[in-house]
Each structure stands twice: as structure tokens, then as C-alpha cells.
Chain A
């Protein structure tokens, strides 16, 4: 009887919160997943750039602008990841808090076509993921003081999961001999991952676009793989899968599959959350580097 009363009271207390959750908007799918994990039931998260979509070149839709205009808090990655974001936010008339999730991250720069560019894919290191979670919780507390305890508890539990995954990732990669930790990928998105976990990511030489390849281009790529001791190939956006297969056969290097860099996948692709995405990438990378 007493317990019934407690349940009823709790339900009554919960009702107003459930009726009006905090309206949050996140710029892209990975960040959206993190905000959901920290916010829990108290926050309703709208993600602008969804799974399998490219945030770098996204064109916002009117419905996105409407979601932002109504939002109470807005999360972005920063580090130049969402180039279109500043103008977009101004155009929606949104004046609420803008939380930069990558605040405090030690940024990695790389040189592209002679220009120094900051790699925005900071979440590819789980240590940075912890910073993101901290920033998100801080941001949510700033607009919803009543829920602050919940957010902090959620963030703590989430951070434990991230730390546990971080430890297992480090253990998995430690099992790979250092000389074999070299892979080729077409994504320029793994500087943080490489820096944190001691894996070298090289860009393919010779083959850049999906135009018809030349014998010289293919030969250069094969030489690069041989001379630099590359263990695995992760190239997706090429015109012909048979060509990559041919290169893999010729060099004895393993074909890696698809790494997720800057967007989550649909649930059936096995990388629908930040943590699942990381596990997916590790499950592809580690065996490929070991040559299994």
C-alpha cells in the first residue's frame, strides 16, 4: 500500500517534467547522441545533420531552422566543423545559449594544399569525448538548474562507460605490434584517434577522385603501401571496388571496410551511437592491422 503511494507520488512529480522536456538541438548525429545520453528523459534532442550525412557540406532545411528557432539550448562541435553554422544561427533568430562541445580540446592541425587546417574530428579520441560530456552537462545545467543533479549523474555514468571503452581500445591496440599500426584511409578525420592511440593514418597517393584511374596512379599507391609498410586499406569512395580488391591482392594488404568518421550510421549498420561507432571502427581496425 505504502509503495503504491510512493509510486503515485513519483508519477505526479514526474508528470510536469515529462510534459515539457527541454528542447535541445545538436548540429550532427554523434553530438546528438551524446546530448541524449547526458540529458536522458528531461531533454528532447533534435539533430540537424542525421546519420550517414556529411556535416561539412550540409545544406540546412527550413525545418532545421524552425527547430533551432524554438530551441532552448543549441550544441555545436566547433573547431570549424560546421562551416555553415554561424550564418544559419543568425538567420534563425536564435538567441539562446550556444554550447561548443569541443571547448578545451587540444586541437590537432594538418596541412592541406599548403593551408593549415584544424582537424575538427576531436570526438575520435575518447579522452576528448569525456570533455564533450562535461561541456554538455555544464551547458544543460546552465539552462535547467532543476535538472542539474540528473544531468551530472547521467554524465558521470556515461563518462564511466566512455572511460571503460577507452581502456579496452588501448588494450586492443596495444596487442598490435607498433610497426603494423599503419593504415591508409581516404578520410582526413583520424588525427585525434591516431594521436591518442598511436596509429598512423596515411592518405592514399595517386588515387584521389573517382575519375578513371591511370596505371601510374595505381602503381604509386602500391609502391606507397609496400614502402611504408601499410597494414590495411580503408578506401571507400572509389569508382570501382574491383580495383581496390586488385590492389589488396597485389600488396597482400587487407581490405578494411567502412570506418565511420563524422556521422553515425543507421541502427542496422551497427554504429548508431557514439560508443557503438567507436566499437565498430576498432573491430575493423584491429584485425586489419594484425593482418587477420
Chain B
């Protein structure tokens, strides 16, 4: 056993370096978005949105086969439509956003399955849904890099009003008209991250690296900036350790990364500063995050 074991696979194999780079970029990009989703009590929205992008991706697939760009654009458009409709419905009617999002994503998912079944088999559908982190080509890396750049810049621009709306939407509405557009821009960033992640890395990895590090970080620090920073670190750690596990233990790489993130979450839940063991606040508070 030597320290060499920790980087030898990445020195020897280009596919390992690419996998690590792709997963780290995704962790940096999706982690903060996941934190805001969590603070807005929309933790399950990421999962719902990953289904909602299917009809767009399927339409792109029908038009041009398994090509990364048309499927990505199609998926982005479909996800955006679902997110906007859900957001608008929750704002103009009494229905809450989780209900309208559930309704629209189910409609979208059914439409997607229908489209895929028009041409090709379910095997093709699996190809659409599960990209693998081990097969990142140049196109996929550029795509994830572009998504991360747009996402980080976008999030920085709307950070303050978004944060204000998380804490007190009525206050923000009373002093500014920014609430609605900010919320919609944020939803667009969520979709962008998911679409970038799903084609290159698979839906499990895209949603997993978005939500699990955010949920784990909440047990350690309090301010939203700190939670976002810790979430990114956790995401990077999960990507690195998961790939090592996949290399040495022969586990499938996507699930390995997410299981490491899950382990980080469980350890944080028990031993975190705000976790089960060390927390001095009332136990009921824990269930919020």
C-alpha cells in the first residue's frame, strides 16, 4: 500500500482523468444550485425535472439519433417549459408549486415515453437516460464546461434576490419586482445543469451530485454561502472517491460516486455539527433540511 494508489489510475488512464474532470465540473456547477433548491424546499424538484426533459431529448433523438447537441437542446427546451408552467401556475393560482410541477412533469414524461416508442426500442431509451461517466468525449466535456460557466455566472448575478426570496418572498415582493423573474431564471439554471449532466453522465449522477452534497453540507454550516462551499467540496470528494472505488472494486462508476455522496450524507447526518449527535437544538429542526 502506498500513496501512489490514490493517483496512479488517473496517471495511467486518460478516461479516468476525463471522468474525474467531468464529475468535478458537475459538482462545482450543480452543488450550489442544489443548495438553493434545498433552501426553497424544492429538493425533489431536481428528480422531477430529470424526467421532464425526456420528451425534448426524445424529440432530438427522433430527429437526429444519439447526437449530443440536438438531444441537449430538446431536453433543455422541454425542461424549461415544464419549469416555467409549474412556476407560473403556482404564482397565478392557489396551487402550490410541488403539485403543479408533479402534474406537468408526469405529462411530459408520458409524452417522452410515447415519442421514444414511436421509433426504436426501450434499449435506446436506456441509452438516452444513462450516459456513463467513463465515456466522456471532447464534446461532452465541452458541454459540461459550458453549462458550468453559464450556471455559475447566472447564479452569481441572481444570488442576492434569490437568497432574499428564499427567506421571505413577501418582503422581496414588497420592495422589488425581481422575485418572479429571479425564480424563473433559477429554474432555467436547474434545467441547464440537469440537461448538461444527464447526457454526459446519466440522470442518477446529475441529480445525485446536485442534491446529496447540499443536503450533507447543511449539517455542518449555517450560512448559505458556507453551505454552497461545503457542498461543492463534498461533491468533489464524492467524485474522486467514487471513481477510485469503481476502479479498485469494480463497481459501476455512476452509482459508486452517488453512493460515496450518500455515505458523506449519512456521516454528516450523524456526526455533523448540526447533526444527530452534536446538535443542541430541538430534534424537530433536523427534519427541515
Interface residues of A (CB under 8 A from B): 211-219, 222, 239-243, 245-247, 249-250
Contact = CB atoms under 8 A, between A and B. Distances in A.
Contacts of B135: 240, 242-243, 245-246
A218 B253 CA distance: 11
Interface SS majority for chain A: helix
Given A246-B15, A250-B14, A250-B15, A217 B137 contact: no
Interface centre among A215, A239, A243, A247, by most chain B C-beta atoms within 10 angstroms, is A215
The 10 tightest CB contacts between A and B, nearest first, are A243-B135, A215-B246, A216-B250, A242-B135, A215-B247, A212-B252, A214-B250, A246-B135, A250-B14, A214-B246
Contacts of A212: 130, 132, 252-255
Given A222-B13, A239-B127, A240-B127, A217 B136 contact: no
B75 interface: no
B14 A213 contact: no
A151 B64 CA distance: 50
Contacts of B278: none
Interface residues of B, number: 31
B134 A213 contact: yes
Contacts of B130: 212, 239
B137 A214 contact: no
B252 A250 contact: no
A215 B135 CA distance: 10
Interface centre among B130, B134, B243, by most chain A C-beta atoms within 10 angstroms, is B134
A240 B137 contact: no
Nearest to B200: A242
B236 to A, nearest CB: 17
Contacts of B134: 213, 215, 218, 243, 246
Interface string B2-16: 000000010011111
B136 A246 contact: yes
Interface in B232-276: 243, 246-256
A219 B9 contact: yes
Given A212-B130, A214-B251, A240-B131, A219 B13 contact: yes
Contact of B137 (A215, A222, A242): A242
Contact of B252 (A211, A222, A241, A246): A211
Contacts of A245: 135, 137
A217 B250 contact: yes
B211 interface: no
Nearest to A216: B250
Interface in B5-62: 9, 12-16, 18-19
A217 B243 CA distance: 12
